Amino acid sequence: MTILRPQVDGIPVPRPSLASIPYWEGCRAGELRYQRCPGCQALQTNPTIICWRCHRPGPEWVGASGRGVLYSWTVVWRAQHPAFEVPYAPAIVELEEGPRVMTAVVGCEPEDLAEGMALEVAFHRVDDEITLPFFRPLR
């Protein structure tokens, strides 16, 4: 039995930009966030200071439910960086609210992964600045 686990010890971690600070603050607080344009209501998961659709400045940060479905994934059996333990499952999860996020699935066996699988966010603290959002099967 091989349960997919969070990769947190010694892995390369993101360096927050000015635009992404609210996202990382949300993760530390246990809240998954994305941006919504107050003008055209477009949703975006790549933090920015303008709307990707209408170019209006100042997209708002909103909290996601933290639930979604597995949209796409792969299982990595040969690590591309020595800090990663195999297997791990990078994935794209479609949130209930609509946007898709890049993440990794944890808490199940690789062969249990299936398109449309119900998932929920699971936060894992790396250090004082970074808490990473992974997704696990919905309980």
Name the 3-class secondary structure at 110. Answer: helix
Instruction: Output the pLDDT for position 10.
Output: 84
pLDDT in tens, 30-59: 999 999 999 999 999 999 999 999 999 999
Q: If we measure between CA atoms, which residue out of 137, 130, 80 comes closest to residue 114?
A: 137
Taking only the tens place, the pLDDT of each residue in 51-91 is 999 999 999 999 999 999 999 999 999 998 888 999 999 99
User: Mean pLDDT of all residues in the chain?
Assistant: 95
Supply the pTM of this predicted model. Answer: 0.93
Q: What is the DSSP letter of 48?
A: -
pLDDT of the residue at 48: 93
Q: How far apart are alpha carbons 46 and 54 in whole angstroms?
A: 15
Asked whether the predicted pLDDT for residue 1 surpasses 90, the reply is no
